[in-house]
């Protein structure tokens, strides 16, 4: 059993883990992801607006053509009124009603066309805004990506060196020590803690006299009663 070697090994392993963590939480990486997500959201919004446009344009086309048709029909009615005026009261009533009804429908269509045109204007402005925001997000993404790639490549080189060091050092460890270390590490990280003032520096629990006495027995690991870490003293 060689606790010193294991302790030194843990420092290197911690250093690698710290770097990996820093890489994941890099502000540049966060900014990159933020802009990527923003760009995607804006693209989705744009797609939705495109679909809205398509539906509105189809409805507008329908309304305009229907309006044209009814307007021509109204023209025919009015022309007929001049050329062949109604004779009976009933005929007058019937033909007047038809004209009023046509006029009402035309008015409704006109209102809908006006409203639709306004909606299309609003959507057009929205789309312009969204496209501007998307272009900004994309430009920001591209800018940060260059910086992030540089940072990532540098960190990744460092990480490769550290990981190699971890592998080299682990090969030098007593294999039974290393197996126990790994098994403890699967429950608690870091798996070793300094004993300071009769306290475990991993969980800050005071240790029993028995446990402290056990540490002098160098034949096996002494584990913290509370957190299960391997206890270590430098002397």
- Site residues, Zn ion (CB under 5 A): 200, 202-203, 224, 226-227, 229
Instruction: State the Cα–Cα distance between residues 34 and 13, nearest whole angstrom.
Output: 30
Least separation in angstroms between residue 219's CB and Zn ion is 21
Least separation in angstroms between residue 46's CB and Zn ion is 55
Closer to Zn ion by CB, 105 or 226: give it: 226
Least separation in angstroms between residue 202's CB and Zn ion is 4
Least separation in angstroms between residue 181's CB and Zn ion is 15
Name residue, tokens 């690698």. 16
Cβ contact 167:192 at 8 Å: no
Q: Is 17 exposed, middle or buried (0-12, 13-18, 19+ CB in 10 A)?
A: middle
Least separation in angstroms between residue 214's CB and Zn ion is 14
Closer to Zn ion by CB, 170 or 226: give it: 226
Q: What is the DSSP letter of 229?
A: P
Instruction: Please give the distance of CA 81 from its chain centroid, rounded to a whole number.
Output: 67
Instruction: State the Cα–Cα distance between residues 14 and 107, nearest whole angstrom.
Output: 77
Instruction: State the Cα–Cα distance between residues 113 and 219, nearest whole angstrom.
Output: 91
**DSSP structure string for 66-134:** HHHHHHHHHHHHHHHHHHS---SHHHHHHHHHHHHHHHHHHHHHHHHHHHHHHHHHHHHHHHHHHHHHH
Closer to Zn ion by CB, 137 or 224: give it: 224
Closer to Zn ion by CB, 35 or 211: give it: 211
Least separation in angstroms between residue 205's CB and Zn ion is 5
Closer to Zn ion by CB, 133 or 226: give it: 226
Closer to Zn ion by CB, 16 or 200: give it: 200
């Amino acid at each position: 059993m060689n606790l010193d070697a294991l302790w030194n090994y843990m420092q290197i392993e911690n250093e690698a883990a710290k770097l990996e963590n820093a890489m994941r939480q890099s502000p540049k990486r966060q900014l990159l992801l933020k802009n990527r997500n923003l760009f995607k959201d804006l693209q989705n919004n744009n797609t939705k607006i495109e679909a809205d446009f398509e539906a509105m344009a189809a409805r507008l086309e329908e309304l305009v053509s229907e309006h044209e048709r009814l307007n021509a029909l109204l023209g025919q009615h009015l022309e007929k009124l001049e050329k062949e005026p109604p004779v009976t009261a009933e005929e007058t009533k019937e033909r007047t009603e038809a004209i009023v009804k046509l006029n009402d429908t035309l008015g409704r269509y006109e209102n809908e066309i006006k409203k639709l045109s306004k909606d299309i204007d609003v959507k057009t402005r929205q789309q312009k805004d969204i496209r501007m925001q998307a272009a900004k997000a994309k430009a920001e993404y591209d800018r940060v990506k260059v910086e992030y790639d540089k940072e990532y490549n540098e960190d990744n080189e460092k990480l490769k060196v550290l990981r190699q060091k971890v592998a080299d050092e682990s090969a030098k460890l007593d294999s039974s020590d290393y197996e126990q270390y790994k098994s403890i590490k699967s429950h608690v990280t870091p798996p070793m803690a300094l004993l300071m003032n009769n306290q475990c520096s991993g969980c800050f629990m005071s240790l029993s006299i028995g446990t402290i006495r056990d540490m002098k027995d160098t034949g096996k690991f002494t584990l913290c009663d509370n957190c299960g870490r391997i206890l270590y003293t430098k002397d």
